[in-house]
Structure 1
């Protein structure tokens, strides 16, 4: 009897474990707001504690993003799960913000190592009739994990006296179970030479998708700045501008956009990739305009409506952009390409929030938010123009290529 799981079981299980990484990434959002009240650290320190995760993830992507193309998927997946387990242990014993920052950095390193390897493994384990869905499922795992992590932790903060222990203890157990699961999956990538050379920081983008990759940069920047606002900046906006500091309202506000994005990834997977990308960018732009209206009028339901519209856009745009690229890369190139995509994504997720956290004490929270929103709207508009131009070119290609 075979000791390895069927491709269908491995496909579903790997997607669930990948989502658990991002559940863990979303979990600290309500806890950081609570810790700021308890420990008294600055808004700049809070945003750095949130965003150091993205910086650690970026380092791991640049250094180890292609590693599973050389060593195979399973060894890298197991190493990433082990690193995430260590991070959860540090969260459990953290007694001040310094330890939380260490845990977030370790978490980012582990998730960066996992991201390209899991994304590639999910595609490779997907049954033939689900191959087109696999790229969208990877995007949905990211968004859905972030959403559920924020909501579950917000509820734990609101209703239990030991939210930190409950959340990170459970996640540590999930990572142990994940290691056991991965051991029983089949290897989908043949080891090949060059593992040490692959550790040199670089982004691997094959020539045949380079133009599409570059055109997708504004898509990823605006899309990922959207959940970054809700996960990284909205707790401060809610507490200081709306005078709301409950764990549940913080968690729910951070939950809405990424959760809708996860659902949208599946919905838009049935539509042409270019159309999904363009529609997504329009929704991201409109969503942030609605968010601005909600913040400036201090109207929480309007803020939530903006989160829903922006979440639809994030899911449509990010999933669509993946579907424009993934079908055109070779198996041995997958991890490197996903590393490139997520490098752009997590620069957009982390760096603007760090900048905003440093500017807010000097400029004020709301003027800083307005600048953040203005940059996001401008980049989204640029993405719409570029993607619409590519769409028009594709629509005329059959007519110009005839005899």
Structure 2
């Protein structure tokens, strides 16, 4: 991981406060703020506070760290308002776009941004700096322990849906979970959990794929409230809760609590689909437990819990040599180039079919798998006989391509045409297609 450069922080003057009118109660004040993150990047956020004055007793505070992607501060605004109504000064901010994308992530850089936001909160006269901490959701829970290890300014950590395995393992596990929920069986789940993930890593489009959060949790000394929804379908919750609790115990942290929340999903929201949806609504009493824990973070102040059995996260090894982007690109270009030659082999219509079926199958497969990657395997299209219809069509095309390859090969061996170079290239492309299709699961039921 690239270590981010910590720079001096400058907090700009806040914009005028305005009452939160989304609930019609006016019980929360939202103040727009800018602050300087790592590398001098200006970050934009909102500080939410109760409408009632703090009085002589200053308030606790949290900085909220969102999950993967950059949805903007509005995504966590319902949680932020809930915490503000519980008397907690809360900062939500837009994640940086300079130096962060789904293809280019650096958790250390995000940790420095979080610490910049925390310093801004601690400088406020209504905040008790000894009760200021971080709240991290999913990817934000990768970032939170890094920040806690870098600064004693972090007085506590609250996490939601933290992951205890590597991002690659968690992603592969979630692919399997969502595909099973969609009724998908056969080769596609294995393709998504294996070769697709490894190829993305080899191509350099899955940054931080091998990040191991356990060593960072072993060094956390601050109080920790680690929370998972009982219906979390994303974070490998059973294994993650055991790994993180074990890491804290090995590190000697006796001030940690694991909380399992019944009836809620990955982000502790209400669910109408057994945890596989992301409804915006918060459950009743959201923030009650967290507010009490911040007031008294001693172990035992929050009921703990545990998960039952769940499928283990698959081990993701290094990409094989034939899964490297260079080899993959060369093989695909050679295959497609040979297939589009479209040679005329007298008396053999299969040659024309092979020249069409090969490129269509290759392009269709890559496009469909890219679509699954973009939707985290949550949008498969219609499913028939335990397979997405698109995948069934691609498998049928792959079988037809193999059949055409066999027909071309048989014809060339039997008739031995005088001009054999172009038909030979066509046959070579068809033969190269067969192991490629096996590798990607197209010829596996």
Query: Which TM bucket (shorter chain)?
Result: under 0.3
Q: Which has the larger radius of gyration?
A: 2
- The structure where helix makes up a greater share of residues is 1
Q: Which TM-score applies when normalising by structure 2?
A: 0.24
State the structure with bigger RCO (CA 8 A, min sep 6), 1 or 2: 1
- The structure where strand makes up a greater share of residues is 2
